Structure 1
Amino acid sequence: MSVLRPGETCWRQAHADRAAFLIDTEAYFAAVFAAIQKAKRSILLLGWGFDPRTRLFPDGYDGPDDPDEVGRVLVELACSRPELDIRLLIWKSALPISASQQFFPHKARKWFENTPVKFRLDDQVPFGACHHQKVLVIDEALAFCGGGDIAVDRWDTAAHLDDDQRRIMPDQDHHAPRHEVMMMVDGDAARALGDLARIRWFRATGETLEPRPADGDPWPEHVPAAITHAEVAIARTEPAWKARAPVEEIRDLTLESIYAAKKLIYLENQYFTSPVITEVIAQRLGQPDGPAVVLVSTGEAPSWFDRLTMDRSRAALIWRLRAADVYGRFRALRPITPGGVTIIVHSKVTVVDDRIVRVGSANLNNRSGGFDTECELAIESDDPETQIAIAAFRDRLVGHFIGYTGEAVARASAELGGMVAAIDSLNREGRLASIEPAPMTPFGAFVSRYHLGDPANVSDSWRVGRRRERLYSEARAVTSLHALGLQANSKSITSGR
């Protein structure tokens, strides 16, 4: 049975003539620039963050009035094409988060005053939650979805060089190497993402937007399609809010994907703090014929809050998986540059065998399962050509971390008996280092035990003292159902949370 089931593990499935994977933000920003130059009727962006000063083609010098600043590019487009409707809907971030970003995106409102660009901040989420969807739709014909925001500390190349002067910010400082992944689709899949974006716009502003399709093809000419003629699923997370029921499609799809795996689960993610997902993976690792699991994440989170909350919780869960890994099939890895600099992993990618690929905004934490808003794209296919493309995407991701081509990774995997053996063999320079959890202090153990800062849903956000009990009760329920051969439907499991 397919893991993609509209109304259960996804919202909709829609056809795309073309789909492509954009690895790292140099590729994403270049594709965005090429696509918006072709826009005729509409550009609609959803984001967690946004900074109009973001350079799309940084050159190592950041000066006044850079022509490639995204805010300047959008304003010039809107002024030169009166028929082009440009709308940006960005989360109205909490003050501490905004302060860490020089008070953007809040300051962006002034940037777009008296311009045709319509910029709005969206605060329509429960207290403590955030809008985390990252979607860009152009002319109802092309859409981007993934983990990347258009912000000043995001740009990097797939080389992740130690000292790349192009990773420059407006204050002339340079940000750390950073890994992002976006997915690009056209056709009905792009139109469906347009529907999602318009729903968000209505909820935030009360204004109903009609689709604005246009003749022409905004697909960037320099980007080849990785997959053609595919059914693309859109999966979401939405919290219970203003009489709307919670949407937990991404969480359910994650569990079903893990159980569907036969040989390999490849995960790239910023966070790994969900006890439910951990216990499901542990169950698979304990099976003699279960899949290998490769997790790639940041060695240490860049912000003090994430180090306090997410890193401590992750440490305990990695120890849990290592204890469950009786057959030696689990690797938790952190990428570093050749000079030993930490690469921030901000991508959210899941590849299961050669059959399922998912790219989106959701982290492998509690929040992304039911408290924040999230969106991702997924393809499941038994078509041999599509499976070759999915495997090539995964192999290229692994290879770019350790300095090999995707073809070299695929060859080593075939010759040595799997991805874990291939990584162990090719990773001679140690650029995928093992994640070694730091010793836990008493305060760290308290944070980890109660998953502070990482609620699973709206009601959970107010019940910190019982959070651990509820999360692990749910994990036991999910694994018990699958042990009995039953589908783990989260709506029945979590109805009492």
Structure 2
Amino acid sequence: MLKARRRIMLIGWDFDARINLGESSEAPDAPAKVGEFILWLVNRNPELEVYLLRWDMGALKTLFRGSTVLTMLKWMRHPRIHTKLDAKHPPAASHHQKIVVIDDCFAFCGGIDMTGDRWDTRQHIDNDPGRHRPNGTPYKPWHDATTALTGPVAAALGEHARARWERAGGPPLAPITGANDCWPDDLVKDFEHVAVAIARSSPEMADCAPVTEIERLYLDQIARAKRMIYAESQYFASRRIAEAIAKRLEEEDGPEIVLINPVSAQGWLEPVAMDTARARLYESLRGRDKHRRFRIYHAYTAGGEAIYVHAKIMIVDDRTLRVGSSNMNNRSLRLDTECDVTIDAAQPGNEQVGPTILAIRDGLLAEHLGLPRDEVTAHLAGSQSLIATIEALRGEGKTLRPYEPPELSDMKAWLADNEVLDAEGPGQMFEGIGKGGLFRRLRPA
């Protein structure tokens, strides 16, 4: 944001102006808290404008965040800070995209909102003093991921952000042109000169056609996998994705599929909806997994505390790397708005990306197993198996542990089977009840 010259667009599910961004040697006098930092940015640059778009229902949290309300009032009085609550969604839907666009030249797109309980390091140290809320109370270890992008893909995300702003009731915004010094000086690039795909979800509404690019991409990536699928997701509750996995597990020579999940979803409704659906899907898939090629694991700290996996990542063979906001649940496919980005080695000009994709996958596994990446890579080279490598290298302390499905009460099983709390789209909150439940397409004809 220090490099922004004319426009910053912040689009998110939640936003907390109290969070601490830390310090920068480039601007030692800059405020550390994001709310005051944004005010400082626009006051030092008379050409800069900031646009903040957030989900309207998520904004209710602001009422209980003390100084955030005061900061928002300061923003609203500033002529070059524009805030809007996005209510353009069906009942029970949310705007779940997490996007930042700077001068249409640089963008973040991934799973991280600018809100509390998100900061951590890849070491996920027990009792890390940096892992605390604005009021000083600690929170649990957190694992997340986003992408940093520049070039035409950043411009395309800028176009998407402007369209979201206008659809939410904001005035049309012209694209920013001419920016060229927008990459953070100390940020190392993993890829250069590659094609990047953008996939979106957007629900059907009276004046808006549905967008199901994310669903099609999940199904296509699973169908095209040759040997290995590595994925991280906050949830595993989508029956469409489970059906696609089931088809591959029944093949004689299909791919291994490893999914990293949190032990349990956060909140009071999410565990009922998501954890119970995961248990039912897992048991159904286990019955079809005669070759034992599907696993779910949880990540733990060195002290044995569960790490909350919020990242949304899918890596298929050495071919595709996907990062975004979408989870493997029904609402991410057709009810909520989502945005993912993908690098595919099959695209012209991307032929060289395979080794980097594998290095990122092995680095994630090494992070979870508490081991050097080279050790993970060497074992994978010998075993040619994600599952065999994890089973051989996991141990005590910082490690991965297998998922163990819980015993479900009759009520929880009914809620999961009928998708009462995880609808596939607008108007389908109770569709499962009338059409045979969670596994209606997995059953033989």
Unaligned runs of 5+ in 2: 24-28
SS of structure 1 residue aligned to 2:306: coil
Name the CA shift for 1:99/1:468 in 2 (closer, same or farther; >3 Å): farther
Tell me whether 1:114 sits opposite 2:84 in the alignment: no
Query: Quick one: distance in 1 between partners of 2:194 and 2:341?
Result: 12
Residue 26 of structure 2 is matched in structure 1 by none
| Match runs of 1:161-240 below 5 Å | 161-240=125-204
| Match runs of 1:125-144 below 5 Å | 125-144=89-108
Residue 56 of structure 1 is matched in structure 2 by 21
**Greater CA deviation, 323-332 or 103-112?**
103-112
Residue 10 of structure 2 is matched in structure 1 by 45
Residue 380 of structure 1 is matched in structure 2 by 344
Query: Quick one: distance in 1 between partners of 2:50 and 2:170?
Result: 17
Deviation at 1:224, TM superposition (A): 1.5
Q: Which residue, 421, 425, 432 being the options, matches 2:400?
A: 432
Matched letter for residue 154 of structure 1: R
State whether residues 351 and 358 of structure 1, in contact with CA within 8 Å, keep that contact through their aligned partners in structure 2.
yes
Deviation at 1:216, TM superposition (A): 3.2
Query: Quick one: distance in 2 between partners of 1:305 and 1:245?
Result: 29
Name the CA shift for 1:467/1:242 in 2 (closer, same or farther; >3 Å): same
Instruction: Describe the superposition over 1:340-367 as per-residue Cα deviations: whole angstroms up to 9, x where unpaired.
Output: 1111111100111010111000010000
Name the % identity: 37
TM-score when scaled to structure 1?
A: 0.83
Residue 414 of structure 2 is matched in structure 1 by 446
| Match runs of 1:58-457 below 5 Å | 67-93=31-57, 98=61, 102=65, 109-115=72-78, 116-382=80-346, 383=350, 385-429=352-396, 431-457=399-425
Deviation at 1:213, TM superposition (A): 2.7
Deviation at 1:283, TM superposition (A): 1.5
Name the CA shift for 1:250/1:387 in 2 (closer, same or farther; >3 Å): same
Instruction: Describe the superposition over 1:83-138 as per-residue Cα deviations: whole angstroms up to 9, x where unpaired.
Output: 0111110111258x738974998776325232332121111101110000111111
Query: Quick one: distance in 2 between partners of 1:126 and 1:174?
Result: 35
Query: Quick one: distance in 1 between partners of 2:239 and 2:367?
Result: 30
**Greater CA deviation, 458-467 or 41-50?**
458-467
State whether residues 16 and 62 of structure 2, in contact with CA within 8 Å, keep that contact through their aligned partners in structure 1.
no
Name the CA shift for 1:418/1:333 in 2 (closer, same or farther; >3 Å): same
State whether residues 276 and 472 of structure 1, in contact with CA within 8 Å, keep that contact through their aligned partners in structure 2.
no
Residue 10 of structure 1 is matched in structure 2 by none
Residue 428 of structure 2 is matched in structure 1 by 460
Matched letter for residue 198 of structure 2: I
Deviation at 1:206, TM superposition (A): 3.8
Name the CA shift for 1:100/1:424 in 2 (closer, same or farther; >3 Å): farther
Residue 32 of structure 1 is matched in structure 2 by none
Deviation at 1:208, TM superposition (A): 0.3
TM-score when scaled to structure 2?
A: 0.93
Query: Quick one: distance in 2 between partners of 1:445 and 1:417?
Result: 37
Stretches of 4+ aligned residues off by more than 3 angstroms: 99-109, 471-477
Matched letter for residue 449 of structure 1: D
State whether residues 276 and 475 of structure 1, in contact with CA within 8 Å, keep that contact through their aligned partners in structure 2.
no
State whether residues 265 and 353 of structure 1, in contact with CA within 8 Å, keep that contact through their aligned partners in structure 2.
yes
State whether residues 92 and 105 of structure 1, in contact with CA within 8 Å, keep that contact through their aligned partners in structure 2.
no
